[in-house]
Structure 1
Amino acid sequence: MAYTIDRYPSEDSLRLGAMTLHPVAESVPRARRWFRKFIDPYNLACSLGDCELMISELVTNAILYGRSEDEWVVRVEWFREKNSLRVEVHNPGFPANVRLRCPDAHEAHGRGLLLIDSIADSWHSGPSRFGGTVVSFLVADAWPS
């Protein structure tokens, strides 16, 4: 199987859902599709399209830059924190390698985090609790008060 979905988080958890994806190109549209399917019942007040775009960027980066000598996966989790939505993408890469770039106009890559920086209310990168790297974004006021 190329992915697993956790659609029934415990009721005492802030986590609304999670998915584990293999580091292959097909995982990017799969992440968007499954996120939309499982976040829909929560009636977001923010732009679902923006969230899907940011997830696409982070999953793409995780696939491109995640590194491990062993078989590895990309993990996506989404949480409700009061009225905010936080999405985390975990991979086995190195946290020090996550940075905003200022690519030249002719460069084909390097704009993903700039995009996230412009859409999300905030974003963060650092060591993942699963080992490797986590990059997350926060959308404030994702739900009405």
Structure 2
Amino acid sequence: MTSSLRSAVLSRSYTLSPVQGAVPAARTWVRQMLDRWGLQHFTERAELLVSELATNAIKHAKADGAPIRVTLTYENHTLLLEVHDRDASSLPVPQQPVIDEEGGRGLFLVEAYADRWDVKTTAYGKAVRCELIDGEPT
């Protein structure tokens, strides 16, 4: 007999203020959720990705101190990480990093560590989304 049950969907969101300490809090939350779900094999990449995306949201999104929301969803062997902010007018654009510059590597790292990524405008701003897929090399 074949089971007709669909795979479980795991999903949680975390809201943080765009202040100093928010990025480490986002990394900790991601690590705790992945531990709870038994998906520790995603932890290293997911922590790096949430660090870059939350930093970009805090630094570049001109949202007047509006909160940032991080969402994790796991379904069909794919972990979706989303960072939402309220600024739909400044969409991230990948740039080639300059060796002597301190910043500018965020989306370069996202492209390197995520299996797929994109930006989606929403009713309240934008969401930068990354997928990590079980069994696919990075």
Shorter-chain TM-score: what band? 0.7 to 0.9
Q: Does 1:133 align with 2:126?
A: yes
Runs (4 or more) in structure 1 with deviation over 4 Å come to none
- How many correspondences in the alignment? 128
Instruction: Kindly indicate whether residue 66 of structure 2 is the aligned counterpart of residue 64 of structure 1.
Output: no
Q: Quote the residue 1:105 is aligned against.
A: 99
Equivalent pair of 2:117/2:131 in contact (CA under 8 Å):
yes
Alpha-carbon deviation of 1:95? 5.3
Partner of 2:72: 78
Structure 2 residue matching 1:101: 3-state secondary structure: coil
Counterpart CA distance in 1 for 2:9 and 2:128 is 18
Aligned to 1:53, which of 44, 48, 51?
48
Report the CA distance shift for 1:95/1:49 in structure 2 as closer, same or farther (over 3 A).
farther
CA distance in 1, matches of 2:103, 2:88: 19
TM-score using structure 2 length: 0.84
Amino acid at match of 2:57: A
Specify the alignment match of 1:36 in structure 2.
Answer: 31
Gaps of 5+ in 2: 1-7
Report the residue type matching 1:18 in the other structure.
S
CA RMSD of aligned residues (A): 1.9
CA distance in 1, matches of 2:10, 2:62: 26
